[in-house]
């Protein structure tokens, strides 16, 4: 699908929020399409009429379908997937299931997200693990050459944020996967901000574990996430917590862990949100992830071009591949001032601060960035209105 044939009018018609705001905070939480909203509300109404357990039983096919849809999204099998209440919970469960030992090494990127890095530091303190940051290449993405040079038999994990929180950089996830496969090292990919705005195939990426959220580019409800775990890696991992869903109490003194990745789930969950996540995945698949990527990348480049023409505004995106997130600063204005000004104009943006990606931001001498993240339902006209507003406040 080319830019000229992407049915933006339909996308906006099916997105109620487009009538209320210019939403450029899709890397925070996208506007839900009507089918997702309907799926969530319909199940909540069913629960209110017949009861929560009974509604879950009646919707069993829809619930099962979430795993089938997610498997299509990622190119894996349903037993390799767990549905959780956030990408953070999914990532944490994968990371803390790795049996680290003193002397192990974790390799990660300069653009790593704060939640992940805090977990590395905790494990380092607990188990004597060494955390090392792989330098960037000249474009600003993780250097695959340096990664390869750092690999040895003490590397227990390579953990990478695919798209960082503070800009349009797309790290070379598949190239990293080639290195880890060759070395036989575990590879955990945080796809929180890439899922839904570009195609993801776990075999092509080479990752052993992958986490994602529903609320961002997938346009699902908040409080939803997915964890993928490659089937032949499951036995190397020990879930940090188990319940009667994740395991079966087979004798007074024994239990058996559930087969497949659903051992990382717990018994209680938000069924309405889970069904909504499945609907959001189906909705994205209906548009086509390649078409979505092309549309999103095109809009983001148009936005960068327009921002670059505004006096006192500097676009801060790095990397050889850049996605739908655009980051910038404006001389003499704080991120909060810009965000508040835009909010008064009915435009949503967000602010990314140094504490979220400390290694990257400090290396570039940045304290904060304004983040404007487009989706396929945004338009060039909205970008123009945003840039006109920014020019007004910045000059």
> The pTM is what?
0.96
248-282, pLDDT tens digit by residue? 999 999 999 999 999 999 999 999 999 999 999 99
- In angstroms, the CA 257 to CA 261 distance is 10
59-113, pLDDT tens digit by residue? 999 999 999 999 999 999 999 999 999 999 999 999 999 999 999 999 999 999 9
Residue burial 209-224, b: 16+ Cβ < 10 Å; e: rest: bbbbbbbbbbbbbebb
Residue 289 predicted with pLDDT over 60: yes
Give 2's pLDDT tier (boundaries 50, 70, 90). Answer: very low
Beta-carbon contacts of residue 3 (< 8 Å; ≥ 6 apart): 294, 295, 298
- β partners of residue 195: 198
Q: What is 126-142 written as a DSSP string? A: HH--EEEEEPB-TTSSB
Residue 309 predicted with pLDDT over 50: yes
User: What mean pLDDT comes out for the span 173-199?
Assistant: 98
Neighbours of 301 (CB within 10 A): 16
Q: What is the structure's pLDDT at 5? A: 78
Residue 157 predicted with pLDDT over 70: yes
How distant, in Å, are the alpha carbons of 161, 270, 356 from that of 369? 18, 34, 11
- In angstroms, the CA 279 to CA 207 distance is 25
Tell which residue, 175, 108, 134, has the closest CA to residue 320. Answer: 175
Q: What is the structure's pLDDT at 395? A: 81
Q: What is 225-274 written as a DSSP string? A: EEEEE-GGGGGG---S---TTTEEEEETTEEEEPSSGGGGS-S---HHHH
User: What mean pLDDT comes out for the span 312-326?
Assistant: 97
Please give the helix or strand (H or E) that residue 125 lies within, else none. helix 114-127
Q: What is the structure's pLDDT at 290? A: 98
- In angstroms, the CA 182 to CA 177 distance is 8
Residue 302 predicted with pLDDT over 90: yes
Instruction: Assign 14 to helix, strand or coil.
Output: coil
5-32, pLDDT tens digit by residue? 799 999 999 999 999 999 999 999 999 9
- In angstroms, the CA 187 to CA 285 distance is 26
143: tokens are 């250097």
């Amino acid at each position: 699908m080319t830019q000229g044939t992407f049915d933006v009018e339909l996308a906006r018609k099916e997105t109620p929020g487009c009538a209320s705001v210019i939403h450029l905070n899709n890397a925070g939480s996208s506007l839900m399409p009507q089918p997702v909203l309907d799926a969530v509300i319909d199940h909540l109404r069913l629960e209110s009429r017949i009861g929560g357990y009974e509604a879950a039983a009646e919707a069993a096919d829809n619930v099962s379908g979430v795993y089938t849809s997610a498997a299509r999204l990622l190119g894996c099998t349903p037993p390799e997937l767990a549905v959780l209440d956030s990408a953070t919970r999914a990532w944490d469960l994968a990371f803390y299931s790795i049996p680290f030992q003193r002397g192990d090494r974790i390799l990660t990127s300069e653009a790593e997200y704060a939640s992940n890095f805090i977990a590395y530091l905790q494990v380092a303190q607990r188990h004597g693990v060494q955390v090392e940051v792989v330098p960037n290449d000249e474009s600003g993405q993780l250097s695959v050459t340096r990664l390869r040079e750092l690999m040895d038999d003490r590397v227990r994990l390579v953990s990478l944020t695919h798209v960082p929180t503070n800009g349009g950089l797309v790290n070379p996830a598949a190239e990293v996967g080639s290195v880890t496969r060759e070395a036989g090292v575990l590879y955990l990919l945080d796809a929180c901000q890439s899922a839904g705005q570009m195609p993801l195939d776990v075999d092509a990426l080479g990752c052993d574990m992958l986490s994602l959220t529903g609320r961002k580019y997938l346009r699902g409800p908040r409080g939803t996430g997915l964890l993928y775990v490659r089937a032949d890696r499951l036995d190397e991992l020990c879930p940090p917590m188990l319940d009667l869903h994740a395991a079966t109490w087979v004798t007074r003194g024994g239990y058996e862990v559930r087969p497949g990745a659903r051992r990382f789930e717990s018994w209680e969950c938000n069924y309405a949100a889970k069904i909504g996540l499945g609907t959001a995945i189906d909705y994205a698949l209906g548009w086509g992830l390649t078409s979505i990527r092309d549309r999103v990348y095109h809009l983001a480049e148009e936005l960068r071009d327009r921002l670059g023409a505004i006096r006192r505004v500097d676009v801060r995106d790095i990397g050889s591949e850049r996605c739908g997130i655009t980051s910038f600063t404006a001389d003499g204005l704080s991120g909060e001032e810009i965000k508040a000004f835009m909010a008064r104009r009915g435009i949503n943006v967000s602010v990314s601060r140094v504490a979220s990606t400390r290694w990257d931001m400090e290396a570039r001498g940045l304290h904060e960035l304004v983040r404007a993240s487009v989706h396929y339902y945004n338009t060039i006209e909205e970008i123009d209105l945003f840039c006109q507003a920014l020019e007004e406040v910045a000059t």
